[in-house]
Amino acid sequence: EVQLVESGGGFVQPGGSLRLSCAASGFTFWTSAMTWVRQAPGKGLEWVSSISASGGVKNYADSVKGRFTVSRENSRNSVFLQMNSLRADDTGVYYCAKEAGDFWGQGTLVIVSS
Amino acid sequence: DVVLTQSPLSLPVTLGQPASISCRSSESLVDSDGNTYLNWFQQRPGQSPRRLIYTVSNRDSGVPDRFSGSGSGTDFTLKISRVEAEDVGVYYCMQNTHWPLTFGGGTKVEIK
């Protein structure tokens, strides 16, 4: 059974940093691209970033480019999202998804507020 | 960026009746490999999204056959043949033909 478990969310002040983690199991992680998607409170889904299976190709939404960094450790079946210079409009639930969304985690809540 | 426009925004449906959601793209979603990477997701209240349909018309494992996807190029449709109570939620289309990946704004399905 595919499982994706996000962690690392929390409350942070504007300008602060958080590192999200996503632990994967139940599939061949090192052959799968991974994606981060977020959802602001009461709003729709927004793609944030994707990383290729090898980690060699990374893509970012313009809204997070230069502030967020996606990475992965295939030996640990994990993908990460380092979020710096956080802003209030980064608030929301962050989901980790396999490939372009065939499986999703339960999400982790990030609140950016002073 | 590719803009996906869903309609309607809200869809009240009687149990057992059909429902249809449209997703229109600002440009063709046909990839250079010939595939069209248009997907449909369901998000029930309080839950994570779940993919229902990939590459326009392929149902994911475990998805009831009352869900079907169709379309081509820039025009796509998700149909529910007979709405059940468990189908309540928000439905999103998403394209992964072009970077950045983009989602439609969502269609809220509710029971009349």
Nearest chain B residue to A46 by CA: give it: B103
- Rounded CA separation A105/A96 (Å): 6
Element (H, E) at B77: strand B75-80
Indicate yes or no: CB of B92 within 8 angstroms of CB of A45: yes
Element (H, E) at B52: strand B50-54
B49/A contact by beta carbon, under 8 A: yes
**CA dihedral in degrees (A99, A103, A104, A105; nearest 10)?**
-110
For the sheet containing B19-25, what is the strand order? B4-7, B19-25, B75-80, B67-72
pLDDT band at B107; cut points 50, 70, 90: very high
pLDDT score, position B55: 98
Q: Whats the size of chain A, residue-wise?
A: 114
Q: How many beta-carbon contacts under 8 Å exist across A and B?
A: 51
- Rounded CA separation A12/B101 (Å): 27
B48/A contact by beta carbon, under 8 A: yes
For residue range B29-80, list pLDDT tens digits in order.
999 999 999 999 999 999 999 999 999 999 999 999 999 999 999 999 999 9
Mean pLDDT per block of 10 residues along chain A (114 residues) reads: 97 98 97 98 98 97 98 98 98 97 97 97
- Rounded CA separation B102/B87 (Å): 23
User: Which of A1, A47, A51, A60 is best to mutate for the B interface (most B CBs within 10 A)?
Assistant: A47
